[in-house]
Amino acid sequence: MDNITEIAFQIILFAGNGKSSAMEAIQEAKEGNFEEADRLIEEAGTELGKAHNYQTKLLQEEASGEGTSVNVILVHSQDHLMTSMTVRDLAVEIIEIYRNK
């Protein structure tokens, strides 16, 4: 497996972890468990941060002229990361709605 594919899979892994934690946080908020919801949102942010670090590495390589060819797995990883970040952002808002209910 080449380096770009390995990085893409790391992005997919950590983005998926972050999205799962955000979705779990919504469920905890729905049950009124706001302390656990907040913990899960923080966990989601940590996981998404790890994925973002891999993405940043790719961007830095590209900017320094060391970019590699784009493959479908890399495109998928970027889509997965952006979607997961959106889910986390929406989860924060949904949790606040439940908290203020």
Q: Which residues are catalytic?
A: 76
Residue 3: exposure state from Cβ atoms within 10 A (0-12, 13-18, ≥19): exposed
Please give the structure tokens belonging to residue 58: 């790719």
Q: Would you say the C-alpha torsion 42, 45, 50, 51 has a positive or negative sign?
A: positive
Q: Would you say the C-alpha torsion 78, 12, 56, 70 has a positive or negative sign?
A: negative
| 47 closest CA partner among 88, 90, 8, 4 | 88
